[in-house]
Amino acid sequence: MGGWALEIGKMALYMTFPVAMFHWFNQPEYFERWVTETKRQIFPPENKEHREAVENCIKTIREKKDRELLAALEELERKEKQ
């Protein structure tokens, strides 16, 4: 088939490739750049306008829910009095 030289070449490739990739991808500069870019993609910098819009939306939903609960309680009290 290939002989002993081919087998030695394949074994050298099998052993060298993972070590080379480990060395390449664990360089501090590359790793730091990759981590910061990934972190910015996952957790983008906070925008005050968006934050206020989300807080206003939450406040509006809570007020609506409170009004609904208050109306339901008043209806229940009115039924109990009758």
| Residue 25 CB partners (closer than 8 Å, separation 6+) | 31
pLDDT confidence of residue 24: 85
Using 70 as the pLDDT threshold, list the residues of the chain that sit under it. Answer: 1
Return the H-helix or E-strand segment holding 45. Answer: none
pLDDT 10s digits, 25-46 = 888 888 888 888 999 999 888 8
- Tell me if the pTM is above 0.85: no
- Rounded (10°) CA dihedral 55, 61, 65, 68: 140
pLDDT confidence of residue 66: 97
User: In this structure, are residues 18 and 26 in contact, taking their beta carbons and an 8 Å threshold?
Assistant: no
Among 46, 30, 28, which residue's Cα sits nearest to residue 38?
A: 30
pLDDT confidence of residue 34: 86
